[in-house]
């Protein structure tokens, strides 16, 4: 790196002389400069070390400063720069509760906006994906189950969670329909006593309402 007098300084790693235009400063807090090959090799080695390190220190043994990704960009291959930026972004979410868009064609990662103050009833549920802008439930990690609470949704079987099934659950709750404990078929009492015989042959004096999950 050329000094004020135009002198050429060696790379701080390989000690080979560098022309002024070939010297790369890696950190704003230090004056150490490196050739592109040494700087990119150092950053790549740190990223591939297996520790998932996002902060890359100056390679000069006498310096504790951190390298700046933007300052190093001109010396780095595009794949190394992008990998470093991804590691830096990932480090910002350490300790945060993450959630992912449940739609397979999106899967955007987001930070759950919990206030941490209450129980499950205060947990954020209806959310909008920042990527695809579709609604989903951050608590259940599924597309938004409109009209059905998280507790009701959890009690539904895997084959009962389609949109039309959720509409049926909502209608059943509003109409106070009953559900057979054996076959889960909905029935509506129009008159008479509470004793019924389901089409499955099951006899019951009390058929639990939808909200009970029986």
Residue 209: pLDDT over 60: no
How much is the pLDDT for 87?
85
- Which tokens sit at 195? 């004793």
How many beta carbons lie within 10 A of that of residue 109, not counting itself? 13
Per-residue pLDDT of 151-194, as tens digits, reads 878 877 665 666 666 666 666 666 666 666 666 666 565 555 66
User: Mean pLDDT across the chain, nearest whole number?
Assistant: 74
Q: How large is the average pLDDT for residues 41-60?
A: 82
Task: Quickly state the pLDDT bin for 22 (edges 50, 70, 90).
Answer: confident
Q: Mean pLDDT check: name the lowest of 13-17, 52-56, 73-77, 92-96.
A: 92-96
CA distance 24 to 136: 46
C-alpha distances in Å from residue 92, one per residue of 58, 86, 87, 116, 125 = 21, 10, 9, 19, 23
**CB crowding 167-195: b at 16 or more within 10 Å, else e:** ebbbebbeeebbbbeeeeeeeeeeeeeee
């Amino acid at each position: 790196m050329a000094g004020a007098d135009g002198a050429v300084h060696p790379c701080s790693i390989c000690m080979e002389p560098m022309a002024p235009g070939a010297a790369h400063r890696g950190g704003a807090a230090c004056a150490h400069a490196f050739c592109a090959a040494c700087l990119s090799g150092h950053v790549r080695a740190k990223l591939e070390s297996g520790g998932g390190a996002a902060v890359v220190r100056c390679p000069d043994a006498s310096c504790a400063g951190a390298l700046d990704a933007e300052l190093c960009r001109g010396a780095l291959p595009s794949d190394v720069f992008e990998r470093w930026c991804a590691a830096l972004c990932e480090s910002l979410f350490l300790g945060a509760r993450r959630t992912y868009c449940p739609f397979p064609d999106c899967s955007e990662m987001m930070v759950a906006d919990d206030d941490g103050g209450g129980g499950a009833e205060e947990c954020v549920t209806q959310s909008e994906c920042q990527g695809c802008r579709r609604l989903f439930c951050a608590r259940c990690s599924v597309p938004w189950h409109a009209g059905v609470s998280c507790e009701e949704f959890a009690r539904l079987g895997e084959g009962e969670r389609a949109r039309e099934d959720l509409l049926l659950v909502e209608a059943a709750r509003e109409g106070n329909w009953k559900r057979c404990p054996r076959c889960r078929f909905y029935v509506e009492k129009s008159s008479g006593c509470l004793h019924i015989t389901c089409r499955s042959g099951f006899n019951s004096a009390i058929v639990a309402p939808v909200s009970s999950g029986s």
